Each structure stands twice: as C-alpha cells, then as structure tokens.
Amino acid sequence: MPGAGKSLASSVMKAHRIPVFVSGDIIRAEARKRKLKFTRKNLGELMLKIRKEEGMGAVAKRLVPLVEKESGEFVVYEGARSVEEVDELRRKYGVVVIAINASPQARFRNVIIVSLGLGLRSLLRWRIGRLRMKTVRLISRGELDEYSK
C-alpha cells in the first residue's frame, strides 16, 4: 500500500549494503525497451499486459537474472504484487516475506508529508513482529532510528 513505508525499509537495507530490487523498476526497464513514456497510464497498462501474457509471476521471473548477478547472501524485492511472484522466487531461493503495514490514516499522513517534502523519516518508527511461515511484519509508528538499530 502506498505510504506504508516500503521504500523507507528498503533504504535501511541499502544502507546495510543489501541490494534492493523494486518491482516498478522492472516494469520501467521493460517500458524503456519498448520506448514507452513513463506515465502512470503507460506503466500501469504495461504491468497488466505483462502479467496477462506471461502470468502473475512474470515480474519475479524477470528479477531472477538480476539476482543471479549479485554476490551477497541476501537481496530485497520490494513490491511483490501476488503470491505467484513470491512462489516464483521460492522456486530458486529461500524467501522471507516482509509485510509492512500502516493504518489508512498513517499512510495518508505519510503520503501527504512526503508530497509536501516534510521528511517522513523523522516521523516513522518501526516495530518488528515475527509471524508464522517466515513472514516478518513491520508496523510504521514513529522514529526511524529505533528501526535501523
């Protein structure tokens, strides 16, 4: 969900030198190949077309060659849109799903703050709660400093 804090969590991973791949980047790369303008409409239609033609795991399939180039033990894939994408990655790798949740009010506030340039980082704190089936849930609450430790 927009405004929950996925990009912020990814930035913490990047700061720890863990490669981060974003589903939108994979769609934008395909749009670049097809010489499409980067508009919401074009990217949204392309995303749907790719998934319709190649299946719901299509974006994750396109991620695999990029992951293979990395030498580290871990990578992050931000923005999985379906169970099929996660399953596609599980065929080749050990996968831990991290769900980042925030209330609708917090997401709205975060989107407004980011759009106004007021600095979301100073307003977010992360609490980690482990769930079953190798899933980690992060809840956006306040200061980033507590999460990054």
37-76 pLDDT per residue, tens: 999 899 999 999 999 999 999 999 998 898 889 888 888 8
pLDDT value at residue 50: 94
Burial of 71 (0-12, 13-18, 19+ CB in 10 A): exposed
Indicate the domain borders of the chain: 6-148
Span 6-148 CATH architecture: 3-Layer(aba) Sandwich (3.40)
For residue 108, the model assigns a pLDDT of 67
Neighbours of 100 (CB within 10 A): 19
Q: Work out the burial of residue 94: count CB atoms within 10 Å of its CB; fewer than 13 is exposed, 13-18 middle, 19 or more buried.
A: exposed
CB 29 within 8 A of CB 46: no
Mean residue pLDDT across the chain: 75
Q: Is the pTM of this model over 0.75?
A: no
